Structures are given as structure tokens and as C-alpha cells.
Amino acid sequence: MIINSPINLELTQLSGQTSQPPWRQMDGCFSDVVLVGGKPVLFNVKQSGDCLDFSFTGNIAEKEAVSRLNYIYDLDFDLNKFYKYLSNHEELKDMSEFCNGLRLFLAADPFECVISSICSANNSIKRWTKSISDIREKWGDNHFDDYYIFPDKSIFQDLYEDDEEEALFEDSVCGNNLKSCGVGYRAPYMKKACEIFTDEIILSDIPKMTYDEAFETILKVPGVGPKVADCILLYGFNFKEAFPSDVWIKRIVSYLYFDGKDISVSKVRDFGMDEFGDYAGYVQLYMFHYARMSGLMAKLKK
């Protein structure tokens, strides 16, 4: 079926949003298993003009499947209205040309987004997406011929952090632990996050909070700073007022708005949230990819 909402599927899939790794791609079709009401469903999407051609396999109603797809790709967000907003701001007006059709790629599993976002800290897109894919394949349930879902918190909390911990309990050759998936120093932070969201904080309560409440709640997780917290809230829970800020966003904002002056990352975050309001998350997403695709990032590297 055709979903009549404009999107650039490949750009959205490969944009490095920390909600999840890109879906499996074959012959222009992106596929993954999504839990809908606790039931595994195989989603298949491909580009059709500027819209999506969608099919699914699973024991759910078409209305349920379409609703879930609309959420994951944020298809109810009015891109044309957003592009009018960009065009009315001199600093932003060229961004829709370079990022046309880019949408939020929201988490099918918020817990996976928490772990993905922690894994992305000081990491490349290629490395963190491989790590999360490896975690899926090692410990996630297998559906529809080798499509793996991210392991549930009840499974994740029992994973070994590294070879040393594994060797204390297993006689076999080590390699069945988080660090074997390339997560490095982030392994204990991931385990602690699992513990907190199992024993102290209910993930499904996060969307009911105000943004500030949710932000402070996520910051309670060791190893999670403001950038990762904002990523979790934006890509995991669709808080569009989030403005994840790091050194690259700082350089871009400084170039566009502050004549290249050196300003702190925290001030950039405050500026983005105040300046762009409910569009902050989308502006940040477009800023980053505009800088990559227009040559601005290469200029700023110098």
C-alpha cells in the first residue's frame, strides 16, 4: 500500500539517529521486525515517488500496522509547514534543499534507543550501529528468518559486561559479553541504565512527563550527559523540543548565528530550544545533515 506522506526513506534510514540501527536493506526495500502490541510483525518499506510503499507480515490489523509505521517515521509531521518555517529564516532557508524528505526515525523500542544513544557517545555511526546489531543477534529473539529484536530488559540485565566477568561464571571460551560487541567503556553504563529502568523508572512514564522532568529523569543514568539525554528524548520519545548539542552542532550554530564566536555547548542547547521551540529537534537534525551535505562541515573542520 502507498502511504501518502512525503519522505526520503534512504536519507532518513541512514541519518544516524540513535533510535535504532538502519533496517536491513535489499533491492531498495528496508525491512525490520517491529513489536506491535507485543506481537512480532515484519515491516517492509520502499520508496515510491516521494512517499512510502508499505507491506507487512504478521497477525495484526492493517490499521494497527499503519499507525505504528506512521509513528516510527513521524509521517504525521507536516514537512511542508516546516519548510515554510525554514524559508522564513535566513540562516536556515537552504536546509530543505539539501535535506528534502528527511524525517525523524523514531524508536520502535525505547529501551533500545536508551542503549543505542549511550553507545553512540564519542562513537562513529558505523561502530555504534554495528554494536547494537550485534547485541540483537547475540541475545535478541529471532523472527521471520533471522530478523532479531533487541533483547528485553529482563535478558539484558543478566548479560556479562566483559571477558573478565564472564570468566568468573563460565568455563567456556569468553566472547559472550557486551564488550565483545564493541561497546567498550560504555558497557557498565548500559548495565546500570537497564537496572535503573527495571527497578526505579518506568520507561512508559517518560512521555507523560514535561520535557524538563523527563530530561532530569534521564540524567540520573550514570554516563548519560545532556547530549545523550536529549537524543533519548528526541529519538526515543518524540520530544521535538529537544536540541541535542555537541561540538559539531556548536560549530554550526556558532557559524550561522554568532559570527564564529566560541560559545559553550550548554549555551548552544539553550539557544536552540529557545530559538526553535517545537521545531528544535527537526532543526538540529537538518542542521547536521545540511552541514555534511553542503560542504559546511568540511569548512568548519579547517
Catalytic residue among 227, 250, 301, 302: 227
C-beta separation of 169 from 182 below 8 A? no
Q: What is the C-alpha to C-alpha distance for residues 131 and 21, in angstroms, rounded to an integer?
A: 9
301 assigned to active site: no
Q: What is the C-alpha to C-alpha distance for residues 295 and 142, in angstroms, rounded to an integer?
A: 41
Q: Which long-range contacts link 93-99 to residues 24+ away (Cβ below 8 Å)?
A: 94/290, 94/294, 95/286, 95/287, 95/290, 96/286, 98/289, 98/290, 98/293, 98/294, 99/8, 99/11, 99/285, 99/286, 99/289, 99/290, 99/293
- The residues assigned a catalytic role are 227
